[in-house]
Chains A and B, each alone.
Chain A
Amino acid sequence: MREVSIGQYYPAESFTHKLDARIKLLLTIAFIVMVFLVQSLYAYIAVAAFILIATLVSKIPILKVLKSVKAIIFIVIVMAIINLFTNREGTVLWSWWKVVITVEGIVTAVKLALRLIFLVMGTALLTYTTTPMALTDGMESLMYPLSLIKVPTHDIAIIMSIALRFIPILMEEVDKIMMAQKARGACFDRGGLLKRAKALLPVLIPLFVSAFRRADELALALDARCYNATPNRTKYKQPRLTWRDLVATIFTAVFIVLVIAINNNFWGLY
């Protein structure tokens, strides 16, 4: 079976793995906000240090975290290039016809690339250290205020968890259907883009048919196990906040203050 890296949980016994998923989610959001606030290059170094420390604490191989960037490297490059060529103010470094490259352009491009890379690395740390189930549970818990205004937060959480559960099953199904179609002479890797897309149609249709059939059966199974039997549903996994969560929160808060201080040149370092 194909190994699917959705959720890409990396099992290990570490401080970060043991953190409450809700705290990790909130801290990740705080981290994202921080990365967007940061302007100065010095502060970026501080952010990089933060990611490095967090990675070491999580016992995730640094290479693995770096690899998570690979998926978006194309976007990073495109965005950087766009920034590089659209910034027309400042010291002109090189110009040809209508193309102008400025020092400021290079700086913004680098900053933007770093920002995107840091974002991905930070969120990758969250998904590496938290199981998909814990993540959906955490999200459900954080969505609690919404349930007060009749948003079906639990249904949303169940939908997310079922989606995660069925991704590998459907991937396997795609493999099977593709093999079956290949056996009948279908060809998926030749021809132009349009031809290849067309070749996928005989894969998608059986896949959807089967997905609907599965959904039908799953609905019966949910009913048979008394889904929605009582509004007083209990929860088997009740997360408890520990000293770890406190330490992680304080550490992150201190770091955010530090980064923002550096960013605003509070100590007059540069």
Chain B
Amino acid sequence: MPIKISQKVEKMPPSGIRAFFDLVLGMKDVISLGVGEPDFVTPWNVREEGIFALEQGYTSYTSNKGLYRLRLLLHRYLKKKYNLDYNPDEEILITVGVSEGVDLALRAVINPGDKILIPEPSYVSYGPVTGLAGGIPVYIDTRKTKFKLTPQALEKAIDKNTKALLLNYPANPTGVSYSRKELETFKKIILKHRILCITDEVYNELTYDFEHTHFSALSGVKESTLYLDGFSKSYAMTGWRIGFACGPKEIIAAMTKIHQYTIMCVPIVSQMAACEALEGGRKSVEEMKKEYRRRREFMVDSLNSLGLSCHKPEGAFYVFPYVKNTGLSSMDFAQRLLKEQKVAVVPGTAFGTGYDDYVRMSYASSYDNLKEAIKRIGAFLKSRRI
């Protein structure tokens, strides 16, 4: 008799999308708009530092919280660039990407039955990880407000069991972000109801129309905010798996407790390389941002002219066009586009059950690739007489 799997895991949403992913991975010569990471490799100075660390014999554990030098550099960087003041001893934890940060944060604060508010469509892990931690994900639909959370919707979703709002901005999969003014309206509600705001700001360097504002930088809300971030998107370090969490010392201490038993510490080579990322200048980030902004304009304009309407994203590198007028569900759209034109996109249902009318397209791909993809999507729509 097969061993029974944990009920909690059994209850996690099955990934129907896995099969589609396998289909994409098994195909050759696909133009992929399905990639959730930057289209360049980690800058050489950072890679070189990783190699150097290995050569020097840095192969050991580090402190659970992460190398003190890295926390200190982060402290200085956040202070200088965003005027955020996080104490490297007690208020910063180095995590295995933002993914671990989200998991630790939820496990550290949730008691059975606590509710976590998640604006939808959302990054894939938030709901399932909330469930694993014993919490109840409460999804806030944002379709009618251009995928933006509004203060009204937030206020309406809060009840006595609400523990936290999990806010990702700029957002995956929509690219939506919030101005300082918008964040101020959320702040009032967060403080009024005394809930926690967990922010996933991993795309913050890729904000195009205004300066990114860190939620915890707003006055009076630092103690109610847990700020999660990482090196993946801004330094193209996805495979290094390195991120960080900044917040009130009690929460960071609780997260560190879990982290020390489950992960122990982030690989030292990644931490050493991250130090170089912070120290070694950032010309490439600005270049990259400019490049993405141009591609964004191209994608939004092209898709809208093809009849796949989409809002202009304020950040990240995704567009989330509406595909219902093709008469196809998001999964059918993705499968047929893949089979007929060899273009890969991610079906909207990956980001919430209600998003079957949308697909996610990533523009972290060369302009030539995007141009070719748009041509093929055009041909695909034409063959369906749209």
B is a partner of A: no
Contact surface of B with A, Cβ cutoff 8 Å: none
